C-alpha cells in the first residue's frame, strides 16, 4: 500500500510540473504576440540637441490635447518596416526661412533623376519665380504651366503654395505624399524679419538699435502703422508657418488651446512627414526611410542658399518681447511643439533599426561629398561603395552641379526635361542652364 501511495504522489507531482510548463510556454507565446510599447523621449535625443534650444524649455510641460491623441493611438498602430518601391508622387510645402530652399534642391534633384512631372508656375514675361499660388489657399491645374498637355495629374509640386490637401488632390496623382517643414518660432522670426526687410520695408524702423525687439515691444502699434501705409501683405506675419502648413485661416488668431490642438491633429493625419529644421540631417534620414529612397537621394549642399549677416538679428530679446511673440504666434508654437514631439517619437521607433548609426554615416558622407564638390579642381569621380543603407554610386561634375544648383535653375531644368521628353516644346527662350 505504501508503494502505491508513493507512485500516486509522484504521478501527481509529474502532472503538476507538466501543467506548469505548458502554462509558461503558452503565456510566453501570447505575450510575445502582444505589441506592448512604452512611449518615452529617446535618451539619445538630448545628445543631438543644442542646449540653448528654446524647445528644451518646454519639453517637460504637460502634453497638449493633440499629443495625447498621438500617445493613445500609438499603442494600437502597427508600423510597416517593409520598404518596397521609392515614392515618386509627393508635394513639398515650402515654408519661408525654414531651410526649405535647401530641401527643395534635394527634392528637385530626385524629381530630375526620376523624370517626374512637376506642376510648374505659369511663365510670365519669360521668367518664372518660385511662387505658384501663394498666398492663395486654392490651386487648380490651370495654375500649372502647359497643364493641358501633361495629362490629368502631376506627381511633383515644390513651389510656394499654401497647403490645401483637398485642392491639391485635384491636381496631383492619386496616392501623393505630403511633406512639410517647420522651424522653432523664435529662430524663425529672427530670420524672416530681416530677410524680408520688415524693419525698413514695412515697419520703417531700420535705423533703430534693435528693430525686431522694438516691434515685439508693441506689435499691434507697428502693424497698425503698416496697415495705414498699405504695406501689410495679404497675409500678416502672425502664425505664418501654421498658415502655410494649412492651419485653417479663420482660426489663426484663436487663443483656445483645445481648438488649436484639434486642428493640428487633423493636419497631422494629412502629412506623411514634417521636417524639423533644427534637426535637419536626422530629418532627411527619416525622410529617406519613409519614402524608400537611396542615400544618394538625400545628400545636400552645406552651402547656405540665403545666408544672412545682419548682426541685429542676434540681439537678445527681453522677456516681454518673447512673451508678446508667443502671444501673437500661439498657433505656430503649439504646432511646432507637436510636430517636434511627433518627429522624436518616429526616431524612438527607428532607434532599434540602426537610426543613429545611419545618421552618423550620413553626416560623414555629406562632409565627404561636399569636400569633393567644393574643391577647386576635380579629380576622378568619387566612388561611394555599397553600405547598409545605400547602393553604390559615383559623384562627378554633373552630380556636384545639381548638388549646388539654385532651386529656380534646377526647377527650370526639370521643366525643360519634361517638355523635351514629351516633344511638346522647342528650345525655350529663357536660360535653363545653371549660372
What count of other Cβ atoms lies within 10 Å of the Cβ of residue 74?
15
Locate 192 and state its grid cell.
Answer: 524672416
Domain boundaries, the chain: 89-421
Q: Which residues pair with 179 in a beta bridge?
A: 92, 273
- Our CA angle for 252, 253, 255, nearest 5°, is 110
Residue 121 forms beta bridges with which residues?
144
Task: Give the residue-averaged pLDDT of 412-432.
Answer: 63
Residues 33-39 have a mean pLDDT of: 32
Q: What is the CA radius of gyration of the chain?
A: 27
Mean pLDDT of the chain: 79
Percent of the chain with pLDDT strictly greater than 70? 69
pLDDT band at 420; cut points 50, 70, 90: confident
> Which pLDDT value is given to residue 33?
34
Beta-strand ranges (E) seen in 279-403 are 382-384, 393-395
Select from 3.40.190.10, 3.40.190.80, 3.40.640.10, 3.40.50.300 the CATH code of 89-421: 3.40.50.300
User: Does residue 191 or residue 343 have the better pLDDT?
Assistant: 343
Banded pLDDT at 235 (limits 50, 70, 90)? very low
pTM: 0.78
Reference 87, options 179, 20, 161; nearest CA is: 179
Phi, psi at residue 112, to the nearest 5°? -65, -45
pLDDT tens digit sequence for 311-343: 677 788 999 999 999 999 999 999 999 999 999
**Of 65 and 253, more confident:** 253
Greatest mean pLDDT among 139-153, 216-230, 250-264, 303-317 lies in 250-264
Amino acid at each position: 500500500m505504501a508503494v502505491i501511495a508513493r507512485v500516486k504522489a509522484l504521478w501527481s507531482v509529474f502532472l503538476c510540473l507538466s501543467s506548469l510548463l505548458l502554462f509558461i510556454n503558452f503565456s510566453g507565446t501570447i505575450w510575445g504576440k502582444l505589441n506592448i510599447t512604452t512611449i518615452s523621449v529617446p535618451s539619445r535625443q538630448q545628445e543631438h540637441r543644442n542646449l540653448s534650444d528654446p524647445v528644451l524649455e518646454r519639453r517637460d510641460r504637460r502634453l497638449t490635447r493633440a499629443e495625447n491623441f498621438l500617445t493613445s493611438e500609438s499603442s494600437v498602430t502597427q508600423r510597416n518596416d517593409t520598404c518596397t518601391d521609392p515614392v515618386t508622387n509627393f508635394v513639398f510645402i515650402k515654408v519661408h526661412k525654414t531651410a526649405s530652399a535647401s530641401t527643395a534642391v534635394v527634392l528637385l534633384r530626385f524629381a530630375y533623376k526620376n523624370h517626374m512631372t512637376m506642376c510648374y508656375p505659369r511663365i510670365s514675361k519669360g521668367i518664372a519665380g518660385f511662387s505658384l499660388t501663394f498666398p492663395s489657399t486654392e490651386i487648380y491645374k490651370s495654375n500649372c504651366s502647359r497643364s493641358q498637355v501633361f495629362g490629368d495629374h502631376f506627381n511633383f509640386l515644390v513651389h510656394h503654395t499654401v497647403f490645401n490637401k483637398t485642392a491639391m488632390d485635384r491636381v496631383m496623382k492619386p496616392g501623393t505624399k505630403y511633406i512639410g517643414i517647420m522651424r522653432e518660432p523664435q529662430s524663425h522670426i529672427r530670420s524672416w524679419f530681416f530677410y524680408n526687410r520688415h524693419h525698413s520695408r514695412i515697419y520703417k524702423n531700420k535705423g533703430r538699435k534693435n528693430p525686431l525687439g522694438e516691434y515685439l515691444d508693441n506689435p499691434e502699434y507697428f502693424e497698425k502703422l503698416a496697415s495705414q501705409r498699405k504695406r501689410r501683405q495679404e497675409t500678416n506675419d502672425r502664425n505664418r508657418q501654421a498658415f502655410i502648413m494649412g492651419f485653417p485661416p479663420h482660426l489663426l488668431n484663436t487663443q483656445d488651446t483645445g481648438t488649436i490642438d484639434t486642428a493640428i491633429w487633423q493636419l497631422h493625419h494629412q502629412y506623411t512627414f514634417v521636417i524639423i529644421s533644427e534637426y535637419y540631417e536626422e530629418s532627411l534620414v527619416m525622410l529617406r526611410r519613409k519614402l524608400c529612397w537611396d542615400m544618394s537621394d538625400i545628400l545636400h549642399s552645406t552651402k547656405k542658399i540665403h545666408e544672412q549677416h545682419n548682426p541685429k538679428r542676434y540681439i537678445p530679446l527681453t522677456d516681454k518681447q518673447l512673451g508678446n511673440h508667443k502671444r501673437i504666434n500661439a498657433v505656430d508654437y503649439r504646432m511646432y511643439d507637436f510636430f517636434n514631439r511627433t518627429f522624436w517619437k518616429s526616431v524612438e521607433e527607428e532607434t532599434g533599426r540602426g537610426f543613429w548609426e545611419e545618421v552618423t554615416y550620413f553626416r560623414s558622407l555629406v562632409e565627404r561629398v561636399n569636400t569633393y564638390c567644393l574643391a577647386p579642381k576635380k579629380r576622378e569621380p568619387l566612388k561611394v561603395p555599397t553600405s547598409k543603407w545605400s547602393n553604390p554610386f559615383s559623384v562627378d561634375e554633373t552630380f556636384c552641379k545639381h548638388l549646388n544648383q539654385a532651386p529656380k535653375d534646377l526647377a527650370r531644368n526639370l521643366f525643360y526635361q519634361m517638355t523635351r521628353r514629351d516633344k511638346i516644346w522647342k528650345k525655350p527662350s529663357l536660360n535653363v542652364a545653371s549660372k
